[in-house]
């Protein structure tokens, strides 16, 4: 069987590039803007979201025929919230400084539209295997978007990368890019770039 034509391959490419959750669908913006000021935060957040995506895919896809349509939103919410608690406790136990920096944003993974969006758009209609592929692809897509933004913002804003000094000593930190306005400007430029490359018409 040709790998390139398989359903799983298409799903994966769609998640990682074609329907990229951040650049193309513009989902999960709150956390990707607020968290992407340092690479370590971006990695922790990306890992957390990827874990919750995969875990919800594993749970929701097999149960999709049993969840009544009327209460599916709240069911998804509770499932997502349960896994977010695991992420929160994990970060608190193993990387307390990052957990402190992320603050409320760990809990806000629950309302990250990517999770709800994927559950609504994909897991509820597709089998478990394909849903897991979709979850992994979207997790990777979200994480690399965060890391790209964080790399630019940390290097320019703090002169460091993952905590190591990379800019020469005469470099003056460009503080504004590590604050909220920088996040807005940078993401708008990235969205513009990705839309120009993919030739996608904005809605």
Partner 1 sequence: MLHLILLFFAAIFTHNIALTYILGMCPFLSLSRNINVATGMAAAVTFVVTLTAAINWPIYHLVLVPTHSELIYYIVFIIVIAASVQLLEMVMERFFPSLQSSFGIFLPLITVNCIVLAVSLFMILRNYTFLQTIFFSVGSSLGWMLAIVMVAAINEKLELIGDIPKGYKGTAIVMVIAGIIALSFIGFGGMLKIQ
- Chain contacts with partner 1 (rule: CB under 8 A): 26-27, 29-30, 33-34, 73-74, 77-78, 81-82, 84-85, 88-89, 103-104, 107-108, 110-113, 116, 176, 179-185, 187-189, 191-193, 195-196, 201-203
Q: How far is the CB of 157 from partner 1 (least distance, A)?
A: 14
Cα–Cα distance for residue pair 149/146, rounded to 1 Å: 5
CB of residue 76 to partner 1, shortest distance in Å: 10
Residue with smaller CB distance to partner 1, 10 or 195:
195
How far is it, in rounded angstroms, from Cα 42 to Cα 35? 6
For residue 20, the minimal CB distance to partner 1 (Å) is: 13
**Do 160 and 151 contact (CB within 8 A), yes or no?**
no
* Comparison of 166 and 189: residue with beta carbon closer to partner 1: 189
User: By C-alpha distance, which of 57, 49, 11 is closest to 30?
Assistant: 49
Tell me the two tokens of residue 135: 């979850």
Q: Closer to partner 1 at the Cβ: 58 or 108?
A: 108
162 Cβ contact list (under 8 Å, min separation 6) = 39, 40, 154
Give the shortest CB-97-to-partner 1 separation in angstroms. Answer: 16
Token representation of residue 129: 């295997």
Residue number, 34 or 67, with CB nearest to partner 1: 34
Least CB distance from residue 152 to partner 1, whole Å? 15
Classified as helix, coil or strand, 160 is strand
Cβ-contact 28, 114 below 8 angstroms: yes
**Considering beta carbons, is residue 166 or 176 the nearer one to partner 1?**
176
Q: What whole-number distance in Å separates Cα of residue 198 and Cα of residue 132? A: 25
């Amino acid at each position: 069987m040709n790998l390139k034509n398989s359903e799983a391959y298409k799903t994966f490419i769609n998640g990682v590039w074609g329907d990229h959750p951040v650049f193309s669908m513009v989902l999960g913006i709150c956390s990707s803007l607020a968290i992407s000021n340092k690479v370590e935060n971006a990695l922790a957040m990306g890992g957390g979201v990827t874990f919750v995506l995969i875990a919800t895919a594993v749970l929701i896809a097999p149960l999709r025929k049993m969840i009544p349509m009327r209460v599916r939103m709240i069911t998804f919410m509770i499932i997502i919230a349960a896994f977010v608690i695991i992420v929160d406790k994990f970060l608190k136990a193993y990387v307390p400084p990052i957990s402190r920096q992320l603050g409320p944003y760990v809990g806000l993974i629950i309302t990250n539209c990517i999770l709800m969006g994927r559950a609504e758009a994909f897991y509820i209609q597709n089998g478990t295997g394909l849903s897991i592929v979709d979850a992994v692809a979207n997790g990777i897509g979200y994480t690399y978007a965060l890391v790209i933004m964080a790399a630019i913002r940390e290097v320019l804003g703090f002169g460091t990368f993952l905590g190591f000094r990379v800019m020469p000593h005469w470099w003056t930190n460009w503080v504004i890019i590590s604050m909220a306005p920088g996040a807005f400007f940078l993401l708008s430029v990235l969205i513009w770039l990705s839309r120009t490359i993919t030739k996608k018409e904005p809605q």
